[in-house]
Every structure is written in structure tokens, then in C-alpha cells.
């Protein structure tokens, strides 16, 4: 299956290539003297012109993160704006999240690992719900729109069958790595309702709108070739061995054992018990096999041409990102074809297809593997730090495989009819992605138990929408624009997943299960050949969502000074309950051109505009579980698996006791938002400034409340949670040096955002809620940690406070010498969960970037720094390191020792020497002892480029351009955090130490235009 699809995918590449070449030849021959035809998508002609003037039909100014000229290279720097897409494209980033990280005020990107091709999460203007699990993080992502197609991503419903909230089953490839930056014309981040409400409830978390390159110059045929090559630098680490670990533990034995000897401890780990064991006490050189200096490359070719009756664009590309650890890498193959036809004056036909394949070599972390298998082997001895022994362990992967890839296709067919001021547009769009993962682990990797798994899943979105619009020029000063449209959207998500243990032998690496009952002559069709039936587990699930939307919009403009716009929507979702299927949402936006109205004669002021918007937008339920009230599920759980679909060959349905009770009368969730912004620009030094103040409150959200335990339910899903986000987004910049000779320019810009969130309501009038080890309290931030306040150490038993003749106790356990001093926050003379306090915050309070561009003649230098301020991280890695007594041999994810266990990290001197044998669990993670300031400033990118002169390119055709550049990324980090990197934390704000380092990269490349 895998090989067959690969062959078919490559055939598609070849067919597209041949078809486009022949079509290009015909178009060029027929229309060589024709002028340029723009590509019409959902926006009208007037809208395209308005975007170039940075004004949208509603009168609000377009919130543009990147907008570049049609010409890739110009003779002098463009007017000051935010960092150009050309500058961003010089870095070898493969995912959209990496490209946009820190590039726009209000957009926060979490790159929690340097492993290439993995998922990274984005948040626009904070988080609107507590991130209790990865499912919540998925539900908080902004909508990404590519050429008018709202992209569909992975659905988190597969977490329902997972025992651990670590990685999603399947490929877990970053589906937003399907966008080649060299094919992109502009990227906009839409944050307020005046710009994003047109996308309806899918846009509740903000919108990232991407427009591909689509136009060619008059009488022009263009060919471009962009390529780079480089490497990621192996990090410098300090390795340790058994002797180091032995000495580290010795200090605890000296203080808290009677004879100070660990050799007499029956529970002392065997791998540290023999100092003559060279596997653990010998040379620690494992890093030579784990960390690598790896090479990467990228190439994209693009050809476009045509005229007013027909034009086209065709692009092919390949990019490979390599990791610095564990032989990880991701490679993408992409092809894109765009065709526009105008057979008659009033009809325009346009179509686009974008195809991608992502191949990812994943990490071989033990925690990832064990969590996927739901199986913990003997953890009493970790991997040895000796290179020879570690290499022999890695060699076992040669008898295993992990094939992991995704195929992604987006496309649309668009018809637009134009009759003077009336326009009608009809479009069909599709986004489809499918993922495959086939895994086999041989017996030596699994305590003589082999393991096999197979995953296939797809996500599909089909859209049919129609929009009619009319431009009414009342007179020279009064204009009116009206639009009405409707959309039908069908979403589907499906996966088939199976895994099995204990195969017959390592030579049979697939589950040879004949599961077709039509083979009646085979009475044992349910019996696997390679794996025993009782050790095979199969899962399949499918969820669908249908969305029907209607909207109408009216925009009035007076004398290009005042603008008022009203957008009305009516949306129906199949994931809403029958009595609350539809939601009506209005949005009002106003614009005032102060420059045109009051300061028209001020020649130094180029523009000054005030804009405001307020309204409501719906929030979709991602799950269909809530659409019909009480339901059943296949959830037996007698084998230790989270869900089991049957018992002894019979299908089984039960109430969803673990996932929670779903009742009736669940309303739509919605978000009320208001935004006030001002934009200004000056001619002198190209100065610009933009300030936005916003307030949004997301209401009626569902949250599981621990209740109904007498009926066996763990939770009850209730509506009524409300979360408020408020903040300020600021961008400003200008030319620091503007040489009159026009040979030297130095421009700089800074953007940053302040964001604060607050829980304003809980269901059923609750003031606070404890769920999954988190405390949610009305009036407090939703991203705070819930921790004990650590105040030191009890040096003697006499230091422990005494109340009414009883020593202070923790959960009934009397505190003693060597225990931590935890603050009795409620003064009830005992330490328990009630004394944990809300402190710190996972989301940064301030984030942004600061860029510089220096141009001298044909040279340019770009420097980009980004920062997070006011963010805290729990250093869980240090907690696990000091909590060795409780973790040793425990079958828990936090107890797993990766090969990186033999790496010296952190500052051990920061932590008191508590009694690790104490029953109070002195080094538990949930205390502020491990809470650290994770603010940072990073030098993210540096690039140096040179534009070849026309004389140098005289051997090429007229108008040719060639740009050469070198870049370096992630060069240094300034932070008070004692861990490796303040970015390497999970969605809960914990640094467990297992993430790959974000590497330093160095590349050299060129951009050629013909």
C-alpha cells in the first residue's frame, strides 16, 4: 500500500509537469503580447485594489503581517513596514509556525521541540480556554486560510483511545509544513472581528490568511529558481556516567542513612552498584552516536506566464530539514499549479491545485515508544552511556521500521461573473490530507516481545460557497457596498488503527490477518498468522461535521473619510444540539481617516486612521459527542487499554463513564470582542506606528466538572465557562539612517504585545474547580500553576511546628528533619492540597520581536531578535533528577531515563538536600522550588545578502535578477532559566527534558529570477 501510493504520487508529479509545460507553451504562443490578468478568488476586484491601499471593504485597515511587491528585488528599500516576506524566506524553516514565530504582535508560537516536522501550536491574542490536555490545545488554534481555502487539520478525537496525553497516534506530522514560502505573495494575521468575521465560527481563535503568488507582469514570462543548502550544528554537551550519578546520590545517603553507605541498601539500583561495570562507570561517549551535524537543503522552481485571456503558474519544490539528534529529519515534496481563463469579458475561471508529501523520520525516545505501545518494560536499568553498547542497542532498529508519511492536497475551482457593478462568484474548494504510519519493533527492543502497529487516517473538507456583491456609487462622496453569500461545508475525519504484541518471530513484520469473513473456507480467518489473536487490538473511528452559513454585509463610505460596516451571520452546525443548532452573530466596524478629514494639508503626515470594531462570533464544538445529549461508547477497559470495542467477539456499548456525562440544553459557545486601533505613518524617515487595544470574552464554553460519581461518571460536561482576554498590540519602526545618496539605509522595527487572561465564570455558579491537578478560580488567570510555596528545609525534628501537641503533618504524615517547609497558606495547622497556591503563568505576558535591516549599495544585512517576558516554567527535569528514590524502577513516564539522562543539565546547587526517602515526597514537581523565570531574548535570524547588478547578469535575459545570501539561525539565548532552553516546554508549562534542542542552522542560497 505504502509503495503503491508513493509510485502514484510521483506519477502525479510527472503528469502535472508534462501537462503544465505543454499548456505553458500554448499560452505563451497565443498571448505573448497580452497584459496581466489578476486571479480572482473570493474577494472582489475592488477588494484587491483596496488591499494594496491597506484598506478593506469594511473601512478597517488591513492587519498585514507581510506584504511584498510583485517584484522580488528592487533598486532601493521599500517603505517601512513590518519585516518583509523576502527576509523571512531566507531562513530554512519548513513549517508555517516557524516562519511566523515572533513576526506579528498578538501571535504567540510554541516551538516546544527542535525535532523537525513536529507539531507546533499557535495562539492569537492569548488562550480562550484552560489547556488541560492536548485536546484543548488543538481546539485553541487559529484558522489557516490558503488562497481562500480554510484548511483542515488533525482532529484530536483519537486521544480518546490513548492512555497517555503525549503524542497523537499516527504520524503526528505538522500539516502546516505543506506551504512553500517561495510560492507565497503575502501573509496576513487577522485578529479583530472587522477582518476575520467573514470566515465565521471557524475564525473564533483568529485567522492566518495566506495568498500565493498569482500574477505576472505585462507581456512577461517569468521563471524563478530558489535554492539553499546548509547544516545544523551539533550542540556541545557535558556527558556523565555512573560514577557521577553515584557521587550525586552519595550526599543523600551520607545525611539520611545510619551508616552513610548505599552499598547495604537492598533497593540501590544494580546498574550503579558495581563500580567495575564499564558499561555504566566507563567512558561516557554516547553523544557521538546521538548528536550529529546534519545537512539540509531546499529547492523551488516556478514558471508563470500568459496574458489577459489566460495565465498560469506552475511550481515544484523539495526541502529537507534535518535534526541534530536521533537521526530525525523531515522531507517535503510539493507541486502547485494555478490556471486562470477569461473566455469572455464577464466571466473569469480560475483553478488551483497544491499537492504535498511529507516524510518524517521520528525520534526513538523511550517515552514516546512506551506511551504509544501502552506497555512499560522493566525500567530498573537505563540505557548505558557507553558508545559501543549504545550503538549495539541502536543496531536493533535495523531489524525494525517506522514508516511515517502524509499526503496533502488543496484545490479549488472558481467561477466569477461580472456585470458592471454587480458580481457573482461560485466556488468549490477541497482540502484533503491522509497519514500513514507502519511500525515494527523487534524482540530485543521489547523484552523479547515484538510489537507491530498500523495507522491510516484522513481529514477532508469540502466547501461550496456563493457570494454576490454590488458596488453603488451614489455620488462623488457617497459609496455603498453590499454583499450576500452562503456556504456549505462538509468535514470528515477518520482513522483505522491496530497494534499487536508478541509476534511469532522477527522475520514476519506484518500482521498477516485475513479478516475478510467472505473467505468461508477459512474457519480461522480471525486468527492472525504472525500475532496471537488475544494480543491484537483494533480501533476505528469516524467523525463528521457539517456547517451551513449565510452572511450579508453592508459598507458605507463618505468622502473617503468615514466608513461604517455591518456584517450579519447565521451559522448552523451539526455538532450543536438540535434545539441550539443555529447562531446569529452581528459585527459592526467603523473607520475614520483623520489625515483626510482634519490634517489633509500636513505634508509630513502620510496617514492617520482610527478604526473600531465590536461584535460576536460563534465558537464551534470540535466533537460530535455533544450534539445529541446522552450517548454510548465502546469503552470497557478490562485489558488496561483505554477503550475496547468488544468482548469475546461481541460488540460492546457502555456509557462514557471515563470521558463524562453529556446532557441536554447545551448552547453554542460564542466570543464577544471589541477592538480599537490607530495607524499612523510619516514621510520623514518612513516612520510608522500601529496600536490596538482589545477585549474579548469567550462564553458558554463546555468544561468537564467532577460529579455524578454515584452513577459511575468521572465528569459531567457543563456549559457556562467564560474566559476574558485583554491586551495591547503595538508595532512601530522607521529608518534610523536614510542617506541622501540613497546608498545606505538602516531601518528598524519593533512589535510587541501585552496579554492577560482571566476566568470570569464557571458552570452552575461555581467559584472554583479542581480538575486534572489544576485549580481554576473565577477572577484568576487560567494558565497559572497550582503549587506549594517552598520556604526551605527542616534541619531538625524540633524545627517542625507543633500545634496542640501534634507536629505539623502533610496529608496526615508527620513532617520530620529533611522535609521541605511548605507554607500553611490557610493556617489550618496542616499541609494538604488546600495549601497549594496559584502562581506564575504559562503564557508570556509580553512577547514580540525587534528587527533591523541595513542596506548598503547592493548589500543587505538582516537581524531579527525575539523575546518572551513574564513567563514561568516548571523544571520537571530537575524534579525527576532529585526524586530518584521514587522514580527508580517505577513504571511511569516521568521515571523513564532516555539516553540523555547521562547529560549534565541544570544547576544542582539551587536545590536543598531533602530526605528523598520521606513519605511526603519532598521533590514532587508541584511546588515553586522548581518554578523558574523563563523570560528570554533570542537572536533568531541573521542574514547577509548581495544583489547582483545588471552588468553582472548581462549574459542572462533583460530584467534578470540574482540574489545571493547566507543565513544563521538561533545563535544565542539570554535567559535566567537554568534549563536548556525556556522554549522547550509542553503545553502545561513543564520542561521534562526530553525535547530535542532547537538547533543552530547555517545556510547559503540564491534566488534567481528570469
* pLDDT in the model for residue 221: 67
Q: For residue 754, is pLDDT > 90?
A: yes
State how far the Cα of 697 lies from the Cα of 193, in Å rounded to an integer: 13
Q: Where are the domains of the chain?
A: 2-235+292-629+664-769+845-873+935-1009, 242-282
Angle (CA) 793-796-799 rounded to 5° is 75
Could you tell me how many residues make up the chain?
1010
Q: What is the pLDDT of residues 304-360, one digit of tens each?
A: 888 878 889 999 999 999 999 999 999 999 999 999 999 999 999 999 999 999 999
Q: Residues 404, 411: contact at Cβ < 8 Å?
A: no
* pLDDT in the model for residue 25: 37
> Does residue 522 or residue 877 have the better pLDDT?
877
- Per DSSP, the chain holds a count of helices (H) and strands (E) of 15, 44
> Does residue 222 or residue 79 have the better pLDDT?
222
CA nearest 357: which of 386, 327, 318? 318
pLDDT confidence bin for 265, thresholds 50/70/90:
low
Q: Residues 947, 963: contact at Cβ < 8 Å?
A: yes
Residue 343 burial by CB count (10 A; 0-12/13-18/19+): exposed, middle or buried?
exposed
Q: Measured between alpha carbons, how far is residue 645 from residues 125, 293, 733, 876 in Å?
A: 41, 46, 59, 36
State how far the Cα of 555 lies from the Cα of 564, in Å rounded to an integer: 6
Q: For residue 54, is pLDDT > 50?
A: no
Separation of first and last alpha carbons in the chain: 41
CA nearest 24: which of 399, 224, 304? 304
CA nearest 27: which of 310, 341, 223, 216? 310
What torsion do the CA atoms of 87, 90, 95, 96 make, to the nearest 10 degrees? Answer: 10
State how far the Cα of 1007 lies from the Cα of 306, in Å rounded to an integer: 22
Q: For residue 16, is pLDDT > 70?
A: no
State how far the Cα of 412 lies from the Cα of 449, in Å rounded to an integer: 48
Q: What is the pLDDT of residues 684-727, one digit of tens each?
A: 888 999 999 999 999 999 999 988 777 888 889 999 999 999 99
Query: Across the strands, what pairs with 572?
Result: 548, 582
Q: Residues 568, 586: contact at Cβ < 8 Å?
A: yes
CA nearest 482: which of 557, 419, 417? 557
Q: What is the pLDDT of residues 584-642, one digit of tens each?
A: 999 999 999 999 999 998 989 999 999 999 999 999 999 998 998 888 877 666 666 67
| DSSP classification of residue 395 | G
Residue 334, SS3 per DSSP: strand
Q: Which of 11-20, 64-73, 170-179, 282-291 has the lowest mean pLDDT?
A: 64-73
CA nearest 848: which of 974, 915, 725, 938? 938
Mind giving me the DSSP string for 794-813? Answer: --SGGGS-EETTEE-EETTE
Q: Measured between alpha carbons, how far is residue 336 from residues 144, 304, 351, 905 in Å?
A: 18, 11, 11, 45
Q: Which of 4-18, 204-218, 426-440, 613-627 has the lowest mean pLDDT?
A: 4-18
pLDDT confidence bin for 510, thresholds 50/70/90:
low
Angle (CA) 264-266-269 rounded to 5° is 100
What CATH class is the domain 2-235+292-629+664-769+845-873+935-1009? mainly beta
Q: What is the Cα gyration radius of the chain?
A: 30
Q: What is the pLDDT of residues 909-961, one digit of tens each?
A: 999 999 999 999 999 999 999 999 999 999 999 999 999 877 677 677 777 88
Q: Residues 270, 277: contact at Cβ < 8 Å?
A: no
Q: For residue 830, is pLDDT > 60?
A: yes
* pLDDT in the model for residue 260: 63
Q: Which of 6-15, 101-110, 877-886 has the lowest mean pLDDT?
A: 6-15
Please state, rounded to an integer, the average pLDDT across all residues of the chain: 86
pLDDT confidence bin for 433, thresholds 50/70/90:
very high
CA nearest 416: which of 149, 36, 45, 48? 45
Q: Measured between alpha carbons, how far is residue 716 from residues 629, 656, 709, 759 in Å?
A: 12, 10, 9, 19
State how far the Cα of 60 lies from the Cα of 590, in Å rounded to an integer: 7
Q: What is the pLDDT of residues 696-705, one digit of tens each?
A: 999 999 999 9
* pLDDT in the model for residue 741: 64
* pLDDT in the model for residue 664: 92
Q: What is the mean pLDDT of residues 80-102?
A: 84
* pLDDT in the model for residue 377: 85
Residue 16 burial by CB count (10 A; 0-12/13-18/19+): exposed, middle or buried?
middle
Q: Residues 338, 312: contact at Cβ < 8 Å?
A: yes
Q: Residues 324, 237: contact at Cβ < 8 Å?
A: no
Cell of 546: 457539517
Residue position matching grid coordinates 482634519? 598
Q: Residues 412, 352: contact at Cβ < 8 Å?
A: yes
Whole-prediction pTM: 0.89
| DSSP classification of residue 565 | E
pLDDT confidence bin for 5, thresholds 50/70/90:
very low
* pLDDT in the model for residue 294: 95
Q: For residue 68, is pLDDT > 90?
A: no
Amino acid at each position: 500500500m505504502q509503495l503503491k501510493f508513493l509510485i502514484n504520487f510521483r506519477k502525479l508529479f510527472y503528469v502535472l509537469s508534462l501537462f503544465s509545460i505543454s499548456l505553458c507553451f500554448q499560452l505563451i504562443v497565443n498571448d505573448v503580447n497580452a497584459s496581466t490578468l489578476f486571479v480572482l478568488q473570493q474577494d472582489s476586484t475592488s477588494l484587491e485594489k483596496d488591499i494594496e491601499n491597506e484598506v478593506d471593504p469594511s473601512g478597517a485597515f488591513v492587519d498585514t503581517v507581510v506584504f511584498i511587491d510583485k517584484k522580488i528585488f528592487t533598486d532601493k528599500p521599500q517603505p517601512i513596514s513590518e519585516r518583509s516576506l523576502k527576509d523571512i524566506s531566507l531562513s530554512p524553516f519548513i513549517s508555517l509556525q516557524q516562519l511566523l514565530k515572533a513576526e506579528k504582535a498578538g501571535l504567540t508560537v510554541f516551538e516546544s521541540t527542535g525535532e523537525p516536522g513536529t507539531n507546533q501550536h499557535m495562539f492569537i491574542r492569548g488562550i480562550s480556554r484552560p489547556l488541560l490536555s492536548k485536546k484543548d490545545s488543538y481546539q485553541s488554534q487559529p484558522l489557516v486560510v490558503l488562497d481562500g481555502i480554510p484548511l483542515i487539520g488533525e482532529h484530536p478525537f483519537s486521544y480518546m483511545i490513548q492512555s497517555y496525553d503525549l503524542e497523537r497516534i499516527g504520524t503526528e506530522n505538522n500539516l502546516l509544513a505543506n506551504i512553500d514560502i517561495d510560492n507565497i505573495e503575502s501573509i496576513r494575521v487577522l485578529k479583530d472581528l472587522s477582518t476575520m468575521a467573514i470566515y465565521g465560527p471557524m475564525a473564533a481563535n483568529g485567522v492566518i490568511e495566506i495568498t500565493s503568488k498569482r500574477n505576472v507582469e505585462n507581456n512577461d514570462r517569468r521563471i524563478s529558481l530558489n535554492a539553499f543548502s546548509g547544516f545544523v550544528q551539533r550542540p556541545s554537551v557535558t556527558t556523565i556516567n555512573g560514577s557521577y550519578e553515584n557521587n550525586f546520590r552519595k550526599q543523600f545517603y551520607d545525611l539520611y542513612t545510619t551508616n552513610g553507605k548505599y552499598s547495604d541498601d537492598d533497593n540501590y539500583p544494580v546498574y550503579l552498584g558495581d563500580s567495575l561495570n564499564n558499561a555504566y562507570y566507563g567512558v561516557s561517549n554516547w553523544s557521538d552516536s546521538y548528536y550529529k551535524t546534519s545537512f539540509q537543503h531546499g529547492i523551488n522552481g516556478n514558471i508563470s506566464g500568459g496574458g489577459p485571456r489566460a495565465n498560469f503558474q506552475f511550481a515544484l519544490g523539495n526541502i529537507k530539514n534535518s535534526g541534530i539528534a536521533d537521526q530525525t529529519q523531515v522531507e517535503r515534496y510539493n507541486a502547485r499549479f494555478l490556471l486562470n481563463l477569461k473566455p469572455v469579458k464577464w466571466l473569469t475561471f480560475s483553478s488551483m491545485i497544491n499537492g504535498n508529501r511529507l516524510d518524517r523520520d521520528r525520534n526513538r525516545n523511550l517515552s514516546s515508544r512506551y506511551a504509544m505501545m501502552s506497555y512499560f518494560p522493566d525500567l530498573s536499568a537505563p540505557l548505558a552511556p557507553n558508545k559501543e553498547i549504545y550503538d549495539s542497542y541502536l543496531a536493533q532498529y535495523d531489524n525494525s521500521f517506522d514508516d511515517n508519511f502524509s499526503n496533502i492536497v488543496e484545490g479549488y475551482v472558481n467561477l466569477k461573473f461580472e456585470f458592471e457593478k454587480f458580481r457573482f462568484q461560485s466556488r468549490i474548494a477541497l482540502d484533503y490530507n491522509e497519514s500513514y504510519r507502519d511500525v515494527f519493533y523487534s524482540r530485543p527492543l521489547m523484552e523479547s516481545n515484538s510489537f507491530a502497529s498500523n495507522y491510516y487516517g484522513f481529514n477532508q473538507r469540502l466547501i461550496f460557497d456563493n457570494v454576490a456583491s454590488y458596488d453603488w456609487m451614489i455620488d462623488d462622496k457617497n459609496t455603498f457596498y453590499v454583499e450576500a453569500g452562503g456556504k456549505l461545508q462538509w468535514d470528515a475525519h477518520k482513522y483505522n488503527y491496530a497494534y499487536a504484541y508478541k509476534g511469532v518471530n522477527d522475520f514476519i513484520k506484518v500482521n498477516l490477518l485475513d479478516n475478510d469473513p467472505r473467505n468461508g473456507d477459512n474457519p480461522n480467518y480471525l486468527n492472525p498468522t504472525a500475532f496471537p489473536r488475544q494480543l491484537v487490538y483494533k480501533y476505528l473511528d469516524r467523525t463528521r461535521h457539517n456547517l451551513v452559513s449565510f452572511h450579508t454585509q453592508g459598507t458605507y463610505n463618505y468622502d473617503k473619510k468615514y466608513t461604517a460596516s455591518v456584517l450579519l451571520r447565521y451559522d448552523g452546525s451539526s455538532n450543536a444540539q438540535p434545539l441550539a443548532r443555529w447562531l446569529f452573530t452581528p459585527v459592526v466596524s467603523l473607520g475614520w481617516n483623520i489625515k483626510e478629514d482634519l490634517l489633509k494639508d500636513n505634508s509630513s503626515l502620510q496617514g492617520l486612521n482610527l478604526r473600531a470594531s465590536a461584535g460576536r462570533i460563534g465558537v464551534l464544538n470540535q466533537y460530535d459527542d455533544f450534539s445529541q445529549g446522552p450517548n454510548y461508547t465502546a469503552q470497557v477497559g478490562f485489558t488496561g487499554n483505554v477503550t475496547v470495542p468488544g468482548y469475546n467477539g461481541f460488540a460492546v456499548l457502555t456509557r462514557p463513564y471515563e470521558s463524562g456525562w453529556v446532557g441536554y440544553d447545551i448552547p453554542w459557545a460564542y466570543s464577544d470582542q471589541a477592538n480599537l486601533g490607530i495607524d499612523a505613518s510619516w514621510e520623514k524617515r518612513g516612520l510608522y506606528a500601529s496600536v490596538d487595544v482589545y477585549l474579548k470574552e469567550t462564553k458558554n464554553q463546555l468544561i468537564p466538572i467532577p460529579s455524578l460519581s454515584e452513577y459511575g461518571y468521572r465528569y459531567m460536561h457543563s456549559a457556562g465557562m467564560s474566559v476574558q482576554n485583554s491586551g495591547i498590540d503595538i508595532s512601530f519602526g522607521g529608518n534610523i539612517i536614510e542617506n541622501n545618496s540613497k546608498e545606505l539605509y538602516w531601518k528598524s522595527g519593533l512589535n510587541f504585545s501585552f496579554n492577560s487572561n482571566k476566568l470570569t465564570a464557571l458552570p452552575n455558579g461555581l467559584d472554583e474547580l479542581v480538575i486534572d491537578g489544576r485549580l481554576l478560580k473565577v477572577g484568576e488567570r487560567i494558565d497559572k500553576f497550582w503549587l506549594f510555596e517552598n520556604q526551605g528545609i527542616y534541619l531538625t525534628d524540633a524545627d517542625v511546628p507543633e500545634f496542640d501537641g501534634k507536629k505539623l503533618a502533610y496529608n496526615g504524615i508527620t513532617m520530620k528533619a529533611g522535609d521541605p517547609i511548605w507554607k500553611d497558606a490557610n493556617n489550618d495547622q496542616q499541609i494538604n492540597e488546600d495549601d497549594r497556591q496559584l502562581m506564575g503563568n504559562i503564557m508570556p505576558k509580553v512577547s514580540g520581536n525587534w528587527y533591523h535591516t541595513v542596506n548598503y549599495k547592493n548589500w543587505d544585512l538582516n537581524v531579527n531578535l525575539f523575546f518572551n517576558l513574564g513567563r514561568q516554567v516548571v523544571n520537571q527535569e530537575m524534579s525527576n533528577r532529585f526524586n530518584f528514590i521514587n522514580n527508580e524502577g517505577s513504571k511511569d513516564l516521568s521515571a523513564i531515563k532516555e539516553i540523555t539522562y547521562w547529560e549534565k543539565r541544570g544547576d544542582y546547587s539551587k536545590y536543598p538536600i531533602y530526605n528523598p526517602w520521606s513519605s511526603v515526597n519532598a521533590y514532587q514537581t508541584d511546588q515553586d522550588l522548581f518554578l523558574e523565570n523563563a523570560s528570554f531574548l533570542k537572536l533568531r535570524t541573521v542574514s547577509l545578502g548581495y544583489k547582483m547588478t545588471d552588468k553582472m547578469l548581462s549574459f542572462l535575459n533583460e530584467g534578470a535578477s540574482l540574489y545571493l545570501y547566507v543565513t544563521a539561525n538561533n545563535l544565542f539565548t539570554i535567559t535566567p532559566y537554568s534549563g536548556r532552553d525556556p522554549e522547550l516546554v509542553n503545553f502545561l508549562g513543564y520542561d521534562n527534558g526530553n525535547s530535542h534542542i532547537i538547533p543552530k542552522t547555517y545556510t547559503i542560497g540564491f534566488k534567481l529570477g528570469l
